[in-house]
Structure 1
Amino acid sequence: MSIFESRPALFDKWLMAEYRRRDDFTALVVLVSIEGTAIDLLRSTFMNVIGDDMRWREMRDLLDGSGVKWNGVAFFPVDSITGPVNNDLARSKLRELETALREDRRLLNKGHFFDRKGRRMKVEEVMH
């Protein structure tokens, strides 16, 4: 095991802090493929986060079940004062997010964007 793998992934720290701040919540999830300077949207869904015991390895295994080869994932917590939102609202928010991301991939930075190792990432504009 490498030294990096024995340390908690940054995803783990984010999830614990997000849970402390919000308690149970709904997160929109977007899987992407990154090749060079291109970012392709692959799959999206929403999930209700109940507790903070999910760790990066478990989340990565869950995301791998999507059936697509991904190397980036962004989580967008849905603002709510009552915990997780109902499925209809989550679907509506997800459609809005997908539409916005098709127009501007930099919006991935508005969420919590991670690579396959659970490390933070950021989209930066490339000047041609």
Structure 2
Amino acid sequence: MARRDRPTTAPVAATDFDAWLAATFRDQGSFTALVVLVRIAEPEVTPLVSTFLTIVGDEVDWAGIVELFKGAGRPWDGAVFFAQLDDGAPLENGEARARLRALEQRIRADRLVINTGDFFDARGRRLRVDEIPAN
């Protein structure tokens, strides 16, 4: 008789974000996520606000992240996450702030920097920024 005290199949991620979080936590353990919320208005992606989060487990899902981002006080269309470690551990707050400010400057100078992170739309689906060819 098969044991029923554990699932017979792995849980299915509800969104691309959920799959990313589970894989990143599995591979890195606890980490700091630098996060930039953006507005997407074709053909532009505009940074709005940024923050950092210390991720200590994979229990949070996309719905929880969306609820958290309501505190930003402005509408947003996408969020880009940059997983960060310092000597295998989450960043100290001062280091996280410094890295976030440097990241903001890099994104303002070149939106393609977003592709070096993990970019998701407001429904938790993976996105990327494509360069528009000059006419």
- TM-score for both structures, normalised by structure 2: 0.87
**1:99 Cα offset (Å):** 0.5
Q: Does 1:27 align with 2:57?
A: no
Paired residues in the alignment total 123
For residues 13 and 42 of structure 1, the distance between their equivalents in structure 2, rounded to whole angstroms, comes to: 25
In the other structure, the counterpart of 1:39 is 45
For residues 44 and 19 of structure 2, the distance between their equivalents in structure 1, rounded to whole angstroms, comes to: 28
1:117 counterpart (99, 103, 123): 123
In the other structure, the counterpart of 1:95 is 101
For residues 87 and 24 of structure 2, the distance between their equivalents in structure 1, rounded to whole angstroms, comes to: 14
CA contact (8 A) 2:81 2:118 kept: yes
In the other structure, the counterpart of 1:3 is none
1:54 counterpart (56, 60, 72): 60
For residues 13 and 35 of structure 2, the distance between their equivalents in structure 1, rounded to whole angstroms, comes to: 24
For residues 118 and 76 of structure 1, the distance between their equivalents in structure 2, rounded to whole angstroms, comes to: 15
Farther off after superposition, 80-89 or 8-17: 80-89
In the other structure, the counterpart of 1:9 is 15
Per-residue CA shift, 1:63-101, capped at 9, x if unaligned? 122111100100001132332110110011001100100
For residues 112 and 82 of structure 1, the distance between their equivalents in structure 2, rounded to whole angstroms, comes to: 19
**1:36 Cα offset (Å):** 1.1
Q: Does 1:73 align with 2:83?
A: no
In the other structure, the counterpart of 1:83 is 89
For residues 40 and 121 of structure 1, the distance between their equivalents in structure 2, rounded to whole angstroms, comes to: 14
For residues 40 and 84 of structure 1, the distance between their equivalents in structure 2, rounded to whole angstroms, comes to: 27
Structure 1 runs not aligned, ≥5 long: 1-5
Report the identity percentage: 41
Computing the radius of gyration over CA atoms, which structure comes out larger, 1 or 2?
Answer: 2
